[in-house]
Amino acid sequence: MRLFLIYLAGLGFGVGIAISGMMNPAKVLNFFDFAGIWDPTLLVVMVSALVVTAIGYRLVFRRERPLFSPRFQVPTSRTIDAKLVGGAAVFGIGWGISGFCPGAALPALGTGDPAVLIFVGAMILGILLARAAIQRSWLARVFATA
């Protein structure tokens, strides 16, 4: 049952991304084009996601514990460190250049678009390289968590 619900949530997310047009990088890039063809669709998607999340958190945390886990697994750290800022910067730069974010790129794999394949491949390579660099080099000291 747990895996089925995970699958259902992922399917719902992917369908929402597809319906909203967020798998189309041009739509995302047009959101950042304030002087040209500005497209507010991304803003509508983000605000909708915030509203759904806020309602969901209120409903879920009324429970003593989750249905399929002994405890809630939510981030507890409120520290803004170099690792968080650096990761956010890389995420934003990649999103702004390509028009893809990981959440939209994964469902977009189903389109077979070569640009999506290149993006996801580069994303996976970047994750692996960053993990290796942090574990084995001076980046471990720079991005060490307090």
* Closest by CA position to 143, among listed 99, 103, 92, 88: 88
Domain residues for the domain of 134 are 2-142
φ/ψ of residue 59, rounded to 5:
-70, -45
Supply the Cα-derived Rg of the chain in whole angstroms.
18
Q: Is the pLDDT of residue 140 over 70?
A: no
Confidence of residue 138 (pLDDT cuts 50, 70, 90): low
pLDDT tens-digit readout, 116-134: 999 999 999 988 988 887 7
Number of domains into which the chain is organized:
1
For the whole model, what pTM was predicted? 0.73
Which pLDDT score, from 0 to 100, does residue 146 have? 47
- List b or e across 71-88, with b for residues whose CB sees 16 or more CB atoms inside 10 angstroms: eeeeeeeeeeeebeeeee
pLDDT tens-digit readout, 7-40: 999 999 999 999 999 999 999 899 989 999 999 9
Which pLDDT score, from 0 to 100, does residue 142 have? 66
- Give the mean model confidence (pLDDT) for residues 41-67: 92
